[in-house]
Structure 1
Amino acid sequence: MAKHQKMGATVTSTKPVNQPHSFSLPTRNSSIELLRLVCMLMIVGYHYAYTSAGHWIAEQPFSLAKLIYQCLMGGGWVGNFVFFTISIWFLLDRKQTLQSNLRRVWILERELLFWSIALFLITIVLRKHDIFTGSLSTQMLALRCFLPLSLNIWWYPTSYALFLVFLPFLNIGMRRLSQRQHCQLACICLLLWGLLGLIPKLSYNLTESTVFVFIYWYILISYYRWHMKPFSTRRCWSLIGIGVGIDFIYLLGSNLLYSATGKAASAQLFIFDKWKLPTMLIGFGMFLLAERTGFRSRAVNVLAASAFGVYLIHFYPPILASWTYYLSVERMFTTAHPILFGLLTIFAVFVACLLMDLIRQGFFKLTFDRHRGRLFDRLWKKLPENSFLR
């Protein structure tokens, strides 16, 4: 998943652009920030239900509890898509440069370094007390904690950092396309990875969670932002309804198939994996509704600033292995109230990680954020005028 609005970039417009799709005020729209928090909660639920026990759940007899747990899986890539949409939406019509985007990557790296080192030390303590007994190499983890972007501890920030580096050049190329050419490109992407992507075994080389996923999404979002009339509220709800409907029909059908044959259990997971079209429809509809529903809340904005930290903490490999072991789906699913205990587990992990990052946020305000990006600016000024980066 996903750093987001505060990592934003900008772009130069070389042709007429539609009127903004949202009202714009000097401060952040708290409805979008609240959506950020909700989506991170959905991502935690996805990692709990899908990553740790998706196949185990698929092999259970059909029940309401099983259906709810599998529905939790649908939130992960909805959340990823919304996080990326929030980021790119506010970048598309502003001037940006390689310098400004490298500066954003620099600022992103500070938070990654903080949590990769802090969580590595926590892992050492957990292992010393036999709380974490995983097979991860301590030496390799130590190396990775000092190079979190380069060694891809978390796929989302690494892919997003690469996207920020590419974005100024992508914008130049995309702005030079006519509306018709941009439409053709978007339609090809939707056909290959959207519609045909709903057929198992058809992936057309988009098989991993990498920067190319973000480029695919960028092509679609930029076409809507630059060339299409804003969707009505009714159409936004229709997007959500269609996405939920496709997910539910597929989930119900695959469950009935498994119940009747005892085979193809993994087919139940297919619709929730990676960047499926239904999750994109749901995510885009949710974003557009939040974007046009404005309110201001300092508390919500402060909490949302730690949403990315929740991702970094709960998805750090040893931490993920630990909490999904001690709070395992298998244990919660077999209790007298599996739905209640499962939801409480997800919420408890989310709140615990949020509180931890709020502490980090306060620490940064007293230290690193007092002169945010100043060291980068000084280093940039020292580059020779004829440097290829300038």
Structure 2
Amino acid sequence: MLLQTDRQTDRQTDRQTGIELLRIVTMLMIIGLHYLLFGGPLFHAKGLNQKLAWFIEAFFFVAVNCYVLISGYFLVTKKNFHMKKIASLWLQVIFYTIIFYCMHLYFHPSFHWKDFFHVVLPVRYEAYWFVTAYFGLYLISPFLAHFAHSLTKQQYLRFLAISTFLFGFYSFFRPESDPFKVQGGYSVLWFIVLFFWGGYIRLWNLSMPKGKALLIYSVSCVFTFLSSWPVHWLLKMEGFKNGKFGLNGFYNYNSPTVWLASLALFFVFYKIEIENRWIRTLILWMGPLTFGVYLIHMNQHVAQELWGHWIHVSHVYSGSSVLLFWHMLITVLGIFLACVLFDWLRLRLFQLLAPWGHSIWDFFAGKIRLLGR
């Protein structure tokens, strides 16, 4: 009996390791997306290099969806409202907005109250679009989890079908009007849909063979890549306006191919078994730090310096495709590792201050509970 329990624990650890590995891979993909966009290859490269950039973009575009799927997978079992975790998330965001704003002021002394409020209220003023949407999802996740647990399997499937059709397919194919304000998937509404997909995988143990999942992921991404030119032509022929979320081909988070590829990639990593204990330990240590990687490299002040002064991609994408590929790989890995180390130092600092912060938060949490009575 003890041996069976140990094996079940090992399988659960392997599954968690696979999902944490996917979290790491998706953050690497997100940095790659920013390399292609802010570095310039998507819109400023010519010929083969530009096609290569859009091809890689199609395979990386699933990253945000996968990251939210992972959150849904873990959060669907947490039906209680934990104010400390919400405060921790908020403090992590504010820590980086404040520290990088202070560094910016040191090199560029020009204080404005408007900028200050943007720094201390980053979610309110959308310092990061992803954080604003994710924070909204995180706040309501306990209620979403309660709803998910109340559904039968058939009811859950019908709910997924309807919500995916309305906020995914229908909204995607109506980019000129955006009837449900999904904004191409750049919104909390689409994140909620992904939350329920991740929750369904967790609650009803949905799975797919890795080989089949990898095939679906690859075919879907290739179709995303091939779709852009004919879709652009078709939408223009239909008279659709070239808005912020229109005329992108299938390069939108709520497009059918990106949604399908996101689910497929999740299943590629879902049940990966990693035998090496050191590698498993490294993955489980690094996975939770990936959110900090996003907060660091996409901070507006860091991003301006990163892509404007520190990393020069223009001389690379004007050369050979091989050079572009290797430059991108080394750059993405370098940014990721530097940010992981930085966020680990931030985590250590928070742990040192934990006793003080814990007591302060308990005081305010107690007052909030009294108001709710």
TM-score normalized by structure 2?
0.79
Task: Tell me how far apart the structure 1 counterparts of residues 250 and 41 of structure 2 sit (CA, whole Å).
Answer: 12
- Is 1:276 aligned to residue 255 of structure 2? yes
Write the deviation string for residues 195-247 of structure 1: whole angstroms up to 9, x where unpaired: 34554726432116222121121233334444464323343224313322322
Which residue pairs with 1:85 in the alignment? 69
Aligned-residue CA RMSD (Å): 3.4
Match of 2:30 among 39, 43, 65: 43
In structure 2, do the counterparts of structure 1 residues 299 and 185 end up closer, same or farther at CA, with 3 Å as the change threshold? closer
- Letter of the structure 2 residue corresponding to residue 245 of structure 1: V
Tell me, yes or no, if the aligned pair for 2:168 and 2:255 is still in contact at 8 Å: yes
Partner of 1:339: 325
Q: 1:270 to 1:324 in 2, by over 3 A?
A: farther
- Could you say which residue in structure 1 is the equivalent of 2:340? 354
Residues 335/139 of structure 1: CA separation in 2 closer, same or farther (3 Å cut) = farther
Structure 1 window deviating more from structure 2 (224-233 vs 179-188): it is 224-233
- The answer on whether the counterparts of 2:28 and 2:333 sit within 8 Å (CA) in structure 1 is yes
Q: Which residue of 2 aligns with 1:153?
A: 127
Match of 2:239?
none
The 1:380–1:157 alpha-carbon spacing in structure 2 relative to 1, beyond 3 Å, is same
Higher mean alpha-carbon deviation, 318-327 vs 333-342, is at: 333-342
Distance 1:320 1:112 in 2: 15
Range moving further from structure 2, 348-357 or 113-122 = 348-357
1:306 maps onto 2:284 in alignment:
no
Query: Is the 8 Å Cα contact of residues 62 and 255 (structure 1) preserved in structure 2?
Result: no
Distance 1:179 1:105, change over 3 A: same
Cα distance in 1 for residues equivalent to 2:221 and 2:75:
29
Q: How many residues of Structure 1 are paired with residues of Structure 2 in the alignment?
A: 346
Amino acid at match of 1:29: Q
1:183 aligns with 2:170: no
Residue 324 (1) aligns with residue 324 (2)? no
Deviation at 1:40, TM superposition (A): 0.8
Letter aligned with residue 367 of structure 1: L
Could you tell me which amino acid in structure 2 is paired with residue 86 of structure 1? I
Matched, 1:207 2:195: no
Match runs of 1:213-228 below 5 Å:
213-227=190-204
CA contact (8 A) 1:117 1:146 kept: yes
Distance 1:29 1:169, change over 3 A: closer
CA distance in 2, matches of 1:305, 1:339: 28
Change (3 A) 1:72 1:141: farther
Shift of 1:138: 4.7
What SS does the aligned partner of 1:242 have? helix
Aligned positions of 1:1-390 closer than 5 A: 23-25=11-13, 29-51=16-38, 53=40, 56-57=43-44, 60-63=45-48, 65-74=49-58, 77-94=61-78, 96-98=79-81, 100=82, 102-127=83-108, 138-196=112-170, 199=173, 201=175, 203-204=178-179, 205-207=181-183, 209-227=186-204, 229-251=206-228, 269-295=248-274, 296=277, 297-326=280-309, 327-336=311-320, 337-368=323-354, 373-383=358-368, 385=370, 387-388=371-372
For structure 1, the 5+ residue unaligned runs are 1-19, 129-135, 258-263
CA distance in 1, matches of 2:353, 2:32: 33
In structure 1, what is the Cα distance between the partners aligned to 2:84 and 2:349? 21
Q: Which is further off, 220-229 or 110-119?
A: 220-229
- Hey, which bits of structure 1, 4+ residues long, moved more than 4 A? 251-257, 266-269, 370-374
User: Is the partner of 1:39 in helix, strand or coil?
Assistant: helix
Residues 303-312 or 273-282, more deviating: 273-282
Cα separation, partners in 2 of 1:89 and 1:351, compared to 1, 3 Å: same
Which residue matches 1:7? none
SS in 1 for 2:75: coil
Q: Helix, strand or coil for the counterpart of 2:47?
A: coil
Long gaps (5+) in structure 2: 1-7, 235-241
After superposition, the Cα gap between the structure-2 partners of 1:79 and 1:360, relative to the gap in structure 1 and judged at 3 Å, is: same
Secondary structure (helix, strand or coil) at the match of 1:33 reads: helix
Question: Are residues 35 and 177 of structure 1, via their aligned partners in 2, closer, same or farther at CA, if it must alter by over 3 Å?
Answer: closer
Residue 15 of structure 2 contacts residue 271 of structure 2 at CA under 8 Å; is this kept in 1?
no
Question: Is contact 2:75-2:145 (8 Å) kept?
Answer: no
CA contact (8 A) 1:47 1:76 kept: no
